[in-house]
Amino acid sequence: MIKNIITISREFGSGGRSVGQKVAERLQIEYYDKDIIRQAAEESGLGEKYVEEYGEFSPSADRFAYNFVDLIEEGTSPLIKLWQVRKKVIRELADKGPCVIVGVGADYILKDRPDCLKVFLFADEETKKKRISELFEDADLKVRNRIHNMDIRRKINYEFFTGQEWGKAQNYDLAINSGTIGYDRCVDIIVDAAGRSE
């Protein structure tokens, strides 16, 4: 079956965004990542800064507990609201036409679409550290600390909302080690797996 939607979940530093952009270019389809966050912010009225904070960098362990209490006691939480808005936005984008979506839990949100190819990109620690230090060469200490905990935050966030284990091969169609396979070949493989003519 031809895959219209390609979701790419990824460990931080495994090149997910770059690979995703190249896949979209090769297939001449739309590419989304931060745009979804921005659109979610506009629709929800939560404010872009807030959504960046809680959406991209996701809840830390402390925030996780805090927000969970929020949810139980008041029935709502800004984080839950963001997730609901995000689900709506992603489903609408997927309905609009073929696209690549990097991160934002899109694999789970679109899991019932048979035309969705779910990819997980990962890499060994050395490869990821090298890439992260290239990307964030001039980052200050605060950003560096966030980067350090990025995968932990992503994992907590993903598992909180989806109830699934983040990065478990069986939750995806394809899991690729970009460190050993190389970014360009990752692009080839994903394009091939999508079954769309270029």
Q: Which residue has the tokens 């689900």?
A: 87
Residues 122 to 141 in contact with a copy of itself, rule: CB under 8 A: 122
Choosing from 168, 183, 196, 197, the residue that interacts with a copy of itself (CB under 8 A) is: 168
CA 110 to chain CA centroid, Å, is 12
Choosing from 174, 196, 197, 198, the residue that interacts with a copy of itself (CB under 8 A) is: 174
Q: Which residue has the tokens 């929800």?
A: 44
Phi, psi dihedral angles at 85 (to 5 degrees) = -65, -45
Cβ proximity of 5 and 19 under 8 Å: no
Piece of 31-39, 58-66, 71-79, 186-194 that binds a copy of itself (CB under 8 A): 186-194
172 sits near a copy of itself (criterion: CB under 8 A): yes
Choosing from 189, 196, 197, 198, the residue that interacts with a copy of itself (CB under 8 A) is: 189
First and final C-alpha spacing in the chain: 15
181 sits near a copy of itself (criterion: CB under 8 A): yes
Phi, psi dihedral angles at 101 (to 5 degrees) = -125, 120
Q: Which residues bind a copy of itself (CB under 8 A)?
A: 120, 122, 167-170, 172-177, 180-181, 185, 188-189, 192-193, 195
